[in-house]
């Protein structure tokens, strides 16, 4: 699944409007129908619903949902914040429709805001700002966000929690971001959803299909994708009933050191679980008995050292090499790894201490064989690429590092 930045989402909306064709207000109506369906399936008509709508299209979505829920018998109260006296055209249209409904308790806020009473029984629909926000909330909007966050009500955000930006939030003000219990994202997740530091704002998130152009989705490029089951299903080919272990590749795992046999055991089990036909684990002699007992399916090649990886092994007969878990960072291991990197032409997965050693010899990144994969956790990435303030910067530095390591992907 593609993840589009804010600017590309606007292009995709415009593409859908032009090529379907469909009017912008009708596309908003379609989004509101998807939102209403999901919300009404989760909460019954006994739930009082309070809407907080902003002046843009996110607010227009909220107004349309309020109208539809009122038509279904929900008790709805709407607060439309129109501080500057200017609404987006579609928001204006939905405001006029809501104003005509006696079933909706509607308030348009232009100056002073008297907050409603929100109880644990209330559902708050957050439609203040969408993913187009490009600066932290402040002033009155920040105060509204803090009021909602302090309430015991359940909060559902439309598209993205108000105050959270779709991609970078490095300099955002956390106290001025809605803390949603659930976020209903329209058509796609936002990049910000995938960063752990934003989980407290997003809560549970669900993607709602609003019928954006499939052709537009294919044609408009993006740098980010989520790998899903359907993306890799074709790789999982049925195995011939007469196949044997020799048909499914031979992997080499270089892992473990004295006191760290567990890392090599876990990595070996994972490698076997992936479906490899044969697995050889190159490990220090002190780990031989543990590996032979814990992972009897694997073959063990003992290193010349009793306690660590110190003797580079020939990798030519293997289809893939994994190196790093529990490896340690002794001088002997460092020398052996660097020597291995100069001679290995087999695709490698480099992890853990292999990355920590490379961090001290970054020029080796340009010597890796084609098809290598690096799997750093945050601290390992910082050792390779420098300090990062958050996941967005971490992702940017990982991409930069991947370009430095000509044949490497993350």
133 is in an annotated binding site: yes
172 is in an annotated binding site: no
Residue in 168, 112, 120 with CA at minimum distance from that of residue 140: 112
Give the whole-angstrom CA distance, residue 364 versus residue 325: 19
State the DSSP string of 255-305: ---TT-HHHHHHHHHHHHHTT-SEEEEEE-GGGHHHHHHH-TTSEEEE-SS
159 is in an annotated binding site: yes
Beta bridge partners of 321: 252, 348
60 is in an annotated binding site: yes
132 is in an annotated binding site: yes
Contact 26, 211 (CB under 8 A): no
136 is in an annotated binding site: yes
85 is in an annotated binding site: no
Residue in 206, 198, 180 with CA at minimum distance from that of residue 128: 180
**Local structure of residue 43 (DSSP, 8 states):** S
162 is in an annotated binding site: yes
Give the whole-angstrom CA distance, residue 24 versus residue 131: 17
Q: Is the peptide bond before 144 cis (omega within 30 degrees of 0)?
A: no
Give the whole-angstrom CA distance, residue 266 versus residue 10: 45
Residue in 246, 264, 262, 240 with CA at minimum distance from that of residue 254: 264
57 is in an annotated binding site: yes
Tell me the pairing of strands 372-374 and 408-409. Answer: parallel
The three-state secondary structure class of 120 is: coil
259 is in an annotated binding site: no
**Local structure of residue 192 (DSSP, 8 states):** G
58 is in an annotated binding site: yes
211 is in an annotated binding site: no
Contact 329, 352 (CB under 8 A): no
Contacts by 96-100, CB closer than 8 A, 24 or more apart: 97/63, 97/64, 97/67, 98/63, 98/66, 98/67
134 is in an annotated binding site: yes
135 is in an annotated binding site: yes
370 is in an annotated binding site: no
Give the whole-angstrom CA distance, residue 223 versus residue 3: 8
Sequence ranges of the binding site for (6S)-NADPHX: 57-61, 130-136, 159
Sequence ranges of the binding site for K(+): 58, 126, 162
Sequence ranges of the binding site: 57-61, 126, 130-136, 159, 162
């Amino acid at each position: 699944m593609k993840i589009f930045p804010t600017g590309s989402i606007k292009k995709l909306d415009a593409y859908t409007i032009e090529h379907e064709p469909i009017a912008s207000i009708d596309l908003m109506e379609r989004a509101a129908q998807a939102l209403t369906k999901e919300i009404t399936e989760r909460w019954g008509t006994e739930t009082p619903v309070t809407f907080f709508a902003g002046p843009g299209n996110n607010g227009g979505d909220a107004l349309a949902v309020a109208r539809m829920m009122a038509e279904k018998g929900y008790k709805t109260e709407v607060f439309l914040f129109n501080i500057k006296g200017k609404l987006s055209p579609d928001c204006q249209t939905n405001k006029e429709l809501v104003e005509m409904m006696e079933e909706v308790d509607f308030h348009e806020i232009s100056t002073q805001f008297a907050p409603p009473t929100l109880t644990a029984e209330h559902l708050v629909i957050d439609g203040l700002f969408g993913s187009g926000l490009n600066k932290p909330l402040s002033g009155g909007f920040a105060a509204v966000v803090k009021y909602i966050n302090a309430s015991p009500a359940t909060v559902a955000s439309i598209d993205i929690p108000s105050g959270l930006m779709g991609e970078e939030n490095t300099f955002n003000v956390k106290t001025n971001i809605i803390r949603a219990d659930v976020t209903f994202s329209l058509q796609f997740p936002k990049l910000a959803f995938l960063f752990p530091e934003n989980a407290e704002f997003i809560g549970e998130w669900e993607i709602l299909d609003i019928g954006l152009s499939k052709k537009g989705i294919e044609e408009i490029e993006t740098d980010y994708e989520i790998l899903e089951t359907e993306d890799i299903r074709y790789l999982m080919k049925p195995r011939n009933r007469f196949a044997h272990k020799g048909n499914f590749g031979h992997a080499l795992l270089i892992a473990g050191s004295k006191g760290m046999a567990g890392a090599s055991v876990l990595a070996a089990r994972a490698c076997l679980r992936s479906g490899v036909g044969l697995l050889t684990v190159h490990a220090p002699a002190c780990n031989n008995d543990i590996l032979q007992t814990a992972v009897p399916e694997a073959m063990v090649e003992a290193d010349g050292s009793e306690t660590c990886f110190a003797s580079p092994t020939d990798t030519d007969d293997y289809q893939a090499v994994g190196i790093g878990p529990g490896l340690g960072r002794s001088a002997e291991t460092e020398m052996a790894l660097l020597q291995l990197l100069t001679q290995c032409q087999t695709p490698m997965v480099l992890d853990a201490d292999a990355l920590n050693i490379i961090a001290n010899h970054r020029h080796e990144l340009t010597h890796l064989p084609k098809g290598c994969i690096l799997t750093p956790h945050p601290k390992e990435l910082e050792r390779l690429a420098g300090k990062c303030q958050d996941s967005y910067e971490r992702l940017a530095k990982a991409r930069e590092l991947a370009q430095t390591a000509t044949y490497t992907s993350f």
